[in-house]
Amino acid sequence: MFARVEASGRSWCLRRWPLDFDERRLRFIHRVLSDSRASGFTGVPELAKTEDVETVLTLVGRHYDAQEWLAGEPLSGVRSDSEPMPNVVVSLSPARIAGLATALARFHSSTARPYKHGYNANPLSARLTQLTRDVEARHNTLLSNVQVRARGEERDVALRWLGLLPSAVGYASSDTLPETAPEDYVPCHGDLWPAHVHFDGDTFVGFTDFESLCFATPALDLAQTVLHFGGWEIRE
C-alpha cells in the first residue's frame, strides 16, 4: 500500500508494509539505505524520520515508512488499472546500460559496515530452493492463465518461458554453480527490473522498492541487470 505525500515542500512515498513483513528485516533495509546515502550514493531514497528520530513507525501492529519520492520515471510503463505490473523486459541504450551498471557498482560498494547476520544473509542456494518450490506450485496455474488470456507474441513468449523455467531452475540449482563465500557478499537490491529503476533521459536517478534487499553475492543483481535490461534477445 503506497501513497504520495507532500510535506514541507518535499514529496514522499508513504508505505504500509505487508502484515507478515519482519520488522528486523525492515530495519536492516533502512540501515543499508542510510549507510549508502551517508557514503555519498544518492541513488537510493532518503528516509523520513519521526519526532523520535525513528525511520520505522509501528501503528496497530503494522509497520510504516516514508521514502523520498524519486524524480524521473521508471523504465517500465505505469498501468492505469489495478492489475499487477508484469515483470517486463526492456532494451536499454548503451548509455543507459552503462549508467545503470555504474550505479549498481556504486550501491554495492557504498556500505562499509558488516551485515553478516543470519537473517540478512541470502545465499543463492537458499534462494534457488525457494524458487524451485514456487515454480512447482505455480506452474500449472500460470500455464492455464496464459493459454486462456494471452494473445499473439506475448502468448508465444510466455509459453516459451514457462516451458523453459523448470529445467532452467533445476540446472541453476545443481552443483555446477559454486557458492560464493560470505566474505564476498554485499547488500543487493534483489529485485532489479524496469519498474524499480528510475531514469531522467539517459541519466540514472535511483532505485526503488527494497522489499527484496538482502546480503548476498553481487552476481544476483548482475544477473537481473543482464536479463531485465538487455531486451528479449538477451534472455533467449
Portion of the chain with pLDDT greater than 70, in percent: 85
d(CA 54, CA 56): 6
- Tell me the whole-structure pTM to 2 decimals: 0.82
pLDDT beyond 50 at 22:
yes
CA dist 71 and 74 (Å) reads 9
Residue 118 has pLDDT above 50, yes or no: no
pLDDT single digits (tens) 93-108: 989 999 999 999 999 9
CA distance 100 to 225: 8
Q: How far apart are CA 48 and CA 10, in angstroms?
A: 11
For residue range 196-228, what is the model confidence (pLDDT) as tens digits? 999 999 999 999 999 989 888 888 899 899 889
Q: How many residues does the chain have?
A: 236
The DSSP letter of residue 202 is: T
CB 69 within 8 A of CB 12: yes
Which one, of 219, 134, 137, 125, lies nearest residue 173 by Cα?
125
185-195 confidence digits (pLDDT tens): 888 999 999 99
Question: What value does the mean pLDDT of the chain take?
Answer: 86
Phi, psi at 32, each rounded to 5°: -65, -45
Q: Is residue 26 within 8 Å of 17, Cβ to Cβ? A: yes
Q: Exposed (0-12), middle (13-18) or buried (19+): which is 153, by Cβ within 10 Å?
A: exposed
If you write DSSP's letter for every residue of 80-145 in order, what string do you get?
SSSSPPP----B--HHHHHHHHHHHHHHHHS--S----TTTB--HHHHHHHHHHHHHHHHHHHHHH
Q: Tell me how many helices (H) and strands (E) the chain has.
A: 6, 9
Grid look-up 509497520 returns 63
